[in-house]
Every structure is written in C-alpha cells, then in structure tokens.
Amino acid sequence: MAIGDGANDLPMIKAAGLGIAYHAKPKVNEKTEVTIRHADLMGVFCILSGSLNQK
C-alpha cells in the first residue's frame, strides 16, 4: 500500500499493491484504486480494516 498526493508519488503508488490518493492532484487520482478527498488519515484505517477483513 502506498499513499500519495503528487506526481512524484506515482512510481511508489505503481509499485505498491494498493494505491491511495490522499487529497491528491487529479493526475494521481486517475492512477489509484482509492481516492480520499474529504476524510483525514482515519479514512485510510477504514480502508485497511476492510481489506484485512476480506482475507
């Protein structure tokens, strides 16, 4: 999992199994599976707990 907000984060996001755009630029939002626009980092914990419960 990688969390990013700018184009400089795209290589890291691409290499990760799950990419999360956090209050990111549009280019990053297009390249990630998950976009967080309105939540704080607790939103990431919700995503993680949901993915862990699926395994």
**Domain segments of the chain: what residues?**
2-54
* 5-45 pLDDT, tens digit each: 999 999 999 999 889 999 999 999 999 998 998 878 887 78
CB contact at 8 A, 42 and 20: no
Helices and strands (DSSP H and E) totals, the chain: 3, 3
Q: How confident is residue 52, by pLDDT bands cut at 50, 70 and 90?
A: low
Q: How many CB atoms lie within 10 A of CB 24?
A: 23
CB atoms within 10 A of CB 3: 20
Residue 49: the pLDDT is 78
pLDDT of residue 27: 96
